[in-house]
Amino acid sequence: MVVLLKKIYNGYQFIMETAGADPRTRDWPLVAKPAHGLCILGLYLMFVLKWGPRWMKNRPAYNVDKAMIVYNFIQVVLCTYVFIEALWYAWGWNNNFACSVDYSNDYKAIRAAEAVYHYYLLKYLDLFDTVFFILRKKFNQASFLHLFHHFNVVIMGWAAITFLPGLQKRP
């Protein structure tokens, strides 16, 4: 068992430190270690599946309409910003999508990585959709597919910002 754990640890070190993780994004919050994001996702699932329904069991549904309006406005503004960022940095410089990722410290490559990071952070904000379902006692809307989607989008966002952020190199 100790040998297996050591091999897993060495594999993790190889992937995160030597082979794959982008050194430009390694120190950004929620990117450095997968455990940070997994901890947030674990708390999210615990609230949505156990703590929230148990807490709301004998309570009336909360009226979170005003909070949802503010939340949705913030989402629209931030998603529009990320969309414009993505358009500007992905297509604004005639990006070549057939080549490898540009890991340089070029201004455009860094800004594109930041756009991917902003998208990734928005996926954490998206988790509040489900929290609102629970607080409104709309448990049926927190379906397996909904939870699976939100969980996996955060995981894929982490993988993108950790291993493949930014522009494609031009030949």
Active site residues: 149
- Indicate if the alpha-carbon torsion angle 45, 126, 142, 148 is positive or negative: negative
According to DSSP, residue 168 is labeled B
Q: What angle do CA 89, 164, 14 make, to 5 degrees?
A: 155
3-state secondary structure of 47: helix
Contact 85, 115 (CB under 8 A): yes
User: What burial class does residue 164 get, using C-beta atoms within 10 Å of its C-beta: 0-12 exposed, 13-18 middle, 19+ buried?
Assistant: middle
